[in-house]
Chains A and B, each alone.
Chain A
Amino acid sequence: MTSPNHEFVKANLNLYAVLQNLEDLVEKDSDSATFTKNWKETIQFSVMGGPEAYVSFNNGVCKAGRGRAGKATIKLYFLSPAHLNKMFDNKGAPIPLKGFTKLPFLATKFSKLTKRLEYFLKPTDVLLADPNYRALNTLFTLNTAVFAAAELSSHEDFSKASVAGLKKGEVLMKVLPEGPCAHISFDNGAISAQKGDSKEATAFMYMRNVDVANAFLNQKTDAFSAIAKGDVAIWGQMPFLDALSRVLDRIPLYLT
């Protein structure tokens, strides 16, 4: 059961949950870091009747943001959310509005980077056997999950209904002992996600280690069993975790 506005929701997930992973890819993956270290480009994505986002590269640092960038060097336009989603599924091309001379950059360099991201976001058992790959896949999956959850909670009927009773609170998801963490905030209908730790959290989900987190986030383990066995520890305001778990379960309907 997907949402009637499936393409719109998926477009939001692609721009706000998937694209932000480029920040960490450039920082944490040495191949990507080397590849992008001299880039100075800002790519704007605009969807008619849909979301807007940008990704900028500057001296080896990547920044992904919502809305419009101040000075985009490349502007890509999409006629609909479905149009954008086709591009993310490698089945369609955008309409360039600015940066015609940089089309080769898009077609070769940027495309190579996004393929690298796809490589880390679509694990196989063989790839996951590599600890470095597993760590990065865990990071990207965690961040994708919290940003996707925020979008779903804001825009998707089922998810909106799931979180409808929640007032103010914050859920922190953390991989122990010192793994990545991210949090999602609820404030009377305003929902947002952030990377990193939080001092304001009112509900907590601690995953025992990277291996547990990877299996859990990739939905390879039964969540209830993981909790009962102590592999995943939950504390605090349970209604937030309960509702959030129902939202997280929706992600595969949009991102596979």
Chain B
Amino acid sequence: MLKTYSYEQSQALFDRAAKVIPCGIYGHMSPAPLIPPSDYPFYAQSGAGSRFTDVDGNEFIDYMCAYGPMVLGYNHPKVEDAAKKQRKLGNCITAPGPVMVELAEKLTDLVTGADWAFFAKNGGDTTTYAVMIARAATGRKKVVAIKGGYHGVAPWTQGYGHHGVIHEDADNILRIPWNDVAAFEKVIAENPDNVAAFMATPYHHPTFADNEMPADGYWARIEALCRKKGIVLIVDDIRCGFRLDVHGSHAYFGFKPDLVCFCKAIGNGYPISALVGTEALKNDAARVFYTGSYWFSAVPMAAALACITELERINGPKIMLEWGQKLLDGMVEIAKSHGYDLRVSGAPSMPYLRLTDDPSLVLMQKWCGECTRRGAYFTSHHNWFVSTAHNDDDMQKTFDIVDDAFRAVKQGGI
């Protein structure tokens, strides 16, 4: 049996945090969905490459990658050097730096169909801006989105029934099932000349459920309907972006959106997001007033420029997809050797895993917890992320952990 971790310092720090921070740790990094929380570290001390070390000194192979932003590995030298050089010159200054123009040029060169780029801080900034542009361009109200799709935490994205959200916040968001073109046709018919935008992720990656790729011809039909009805086609590529294709996930699936939202992977951990769009929407984007206190900070822009340049140079998505596939194939085999069926869905670079014949998810939760306290950080509710920094040593160690954790779960009487 492998040694298992304990988390006294994390717990102590959380006790302090809970006194002065709502929820102790809020949002997606809250311990609440980490089940059981006693198997998980709450606070990280440092990160390097594919791994991080927590405040108790435990080291983890990281399969969440900071929930996506880490794509080249923590503390990647090229990204850090670029950031360091820019920091010496200046970060938040009264006027933006030339690096903003360079980054915009890089993104428009790299992303298929992109004629301009706009920078913000979070993915949610770009989804909200995209919706505003679509409404400005069309003079329409409604936005069609996918049931279970996630586009940030602004009230319009959350829907009524969540704390702090009122009916009016979400009244103009129409949710339809994924991969259902007929539902899109129906909602267009029910809202004649009033649908401003269709927004979706390149493939469906909800929490707590198998991820679903687009059906054959799905995006082509959605694109055709948008063109025919003058609806702005927005892709939320915040999670998938640069983990499927360096030219954007729409290039991977072969369609042409009007607006694409990027975040997570473009800065390798530096706070920056981007909206890119077509020439046809450039003037509308210019008319919508949208900004923030740190949106022109140059250090994250320099980091992003270095990050996407490196992703392009090494074809990062190809590395992640191939490595992820090998990892997942191995894990499925190990699960089978213990009598478990491990089902993988979504792209191998950001897979969703679950154990079948586990309707309550308790088995999966126990197994992920056992893996984590042996050093492979797995979550049971969310798709995982791999990076270009994950390597064969990580894979072998992960296999050992997976094997040992299945044994522990079995001995635990599940």
Instruction: Report which A residues bind B (CB closer than 8 A).
Output: 1, 157-165, 201-204, 222, 224-225, 227-230, 233-239, 243, 246, 249
Given the contacts A227-B31, A237-B208, A202 and B359 also touching, CB distance less than 8 Å: yes
Residues of B within 8 A of A163 (CB): 161
B360, A228: Cβ atoms closer than 8 Å: no
**Residue pair B148, A237 in contact (C-beta under 8 Å):** no
Alpha-carbon separation in the docked complex, A227 to B31 (Å)? 8
> Quick one: closest B residue to A247, CB to CB?
B161
Specify which of A158, A228, A233, A238 is in contact with B381 (CB 8 Å cutoff): A238
Whether A225 contacts B18 in the complex (CB less than 8 A), given A164-B161, A234-B32, comes out as yes
Q: Say whether A225 contacts B147, CB under 8 Å.
A: no
Q: Across the interface, name the chain A residue whose C-beta is closest to B364.
A: A236
Q: 13 other contacts beyond A229-B11, A237-B359, A243-B161, with CB at 8 A cut-off?
A: A164-B161, A165-B148, A204-B360, A224-B26, A224-B30, A225-B24, A227-B37, A228-B25, A228-B42, A230-B36, A233-B36, A235-B362, A237-B208
Are B162's CB and A246's CB within 8 A? yes
Partner of B38, one of A202, A225, A230, A239: A230
Q: Given the complex of chains A and B, what is the CA–CA distance between A109 and B33 in angstroms?
A: 49
B360–A237 touching, CB < 8 Å: yes
Q: B23 near A162 (CB under 8 angstroms)?
A: no
Note all chain A residues with C-beta closer than 8 A to B15. 229
Most buried by B among A157, A162, A228, A236: A228
The dominant DSSP class at the B interface is loop
Contact among B24, B159, B360 for A202, CB-based, below 8 A: B360
Given contacts A225-B24, A228-B14, A230-B38, contact A165 B147 (CB under 8 A): yes
Instruction: Report whether B18 and A228 are in contact in the complex, using a CB–CB cutoff of 8 Å.
Output: yes
The residue on A at minimum CB distance from B18 is A225
B208 touches A229 (CB 8 A): no
- Interface residue ranges of B361-414 to A (CB < 8 Å): 361-362, 365, 381
Complex CA–CA separation, A227 to B38 (angstroms): 10
Chain B positions near chain A (C-beta within 8 angstroms): 11, 14-15, 18, 22-26, 30-33, 35-38, 42, 147-148, 159-163, 166-167, 207-208, 359-362, 365, 381
Are A229 and B14 neighbours in the complex by a CB distance under 8 Å?
yes
Q: Closest residue to A250 on the B side, CB-wise?
A: B163
CA distance A130 to B140 in the complex (A): 62
Chain A to chain B: the 3 pairs with minimum beta-carbon distance, closest first: A161-B161, A162-B161, A224-B23
Closest A-chain residue to B365, C-beta based?
A235
Instruction: Determine the distance from Cα of A246 to Cα of B18 in the docked complex, in whole angstroms.
Output: 20
A161 and B26 CA atoms in complex are apart in Å by 23
Assuming the contacts A161-B160, A162-B162, A246-B162, asked whether A237 and B361 have C-beta atoms less than 8 A apart, the reply is yes
Q: Which residues of A contact B11 (CB under 8 A)?
A: 229
Closest to B170 in A: A161
Whole-angstrom CA separation of A222 from B26 in the bound complex: 12
Residues in chain A near residue B362, CB distance under 8 A? 204, 235-236
Q: How far is the CA of A158 from the CA of B22 in the complex (A)?
A: 23
Q: Is the CB of B161 within 8 A of A239?
A: no
Contacts of B24 in A (CB 8 A): 222, 224-225, 228
Query: Which residues of chain A come closer than 8 Å to B166, judged between CB atoms?
Result: 1
Interchain nearest-CB distance for A29 vs B (Å): 35
CB-based contact B32/A236 at 8 Å: no
**A234 and B35 contacting across the interface, CB-CB below 8 Å:** yes
The answer for the CA separation of A246 and B158 in the assembled complex, in Å, is 13
Whether B161 pairs with A238 at a CB distance below 8 angstroms is no
A230 to B, closest residue via Cβ: B38
Nearest CB in chain A: distance from B23 CB, A: 4
- On chain A, the residues within 8 Å of B361 by CB distance are 236-238
Complexed CA–CA distance, A238 and B379 (Å): 13
Docked pose: A222 CA to B20 CA in angstroms:
12
Taken together as a complex, chains A and B put the C-alpha atoms of A249 and B164 apart, in Å, by: 12
Residues of A within 8 A of B36 (CB): 230, 233, 235
**Which residues of chain B have C-beta atoms less than 8 A from A243's C-beta?**
161
Contact residues in A for B38 (Cβ distance below 8 Å) = 230
Take A165-B147, A165-B148 as given contacts and tell me if A224 and B32 are in contact as well, using a CB distance cutoff of 8 Å.
yes
- Chain B: minimal CB distance from A97 (Å): 39
Closest Cβ of chain A to B70, distance in Å, is: 23
Which one of B167, B207, B360 has the highest number of Cβ atoms from chain A below 10 Å of its Cβ?
B360
Closest to B359 in A: A202
Q: How far is the CB of B53 from chain A (nearest CB, A)?
A: 20
In the assembled complex, which residues on chain B have CB atoms less than 8 Å from the CB atom of A203?
360
Are A161 and B159 in contact (CB-based, < 8 A)? yes
Show 13 residue pairs from A and B whose CB-CB distance is below 8 angstroms, ordered by the A residue. Answer: A157-B167, A162-B162, A201-B360, A222-B18, A227-B31, A228-B42, A229-B37, A230-B36, A230-B37, A236-B361, A238-B381, A239-B208, A243-B161
Give bound CA distance, A178 to B186, whole Å. Answer: 53
Complex interface: chain A residues within 8 A of B365 (CB): 235-236
Task: Report the separation of the CA atoms of residues A236 and B365 in the bound assembly, to the nearest whole angstrom.
Answer: 8
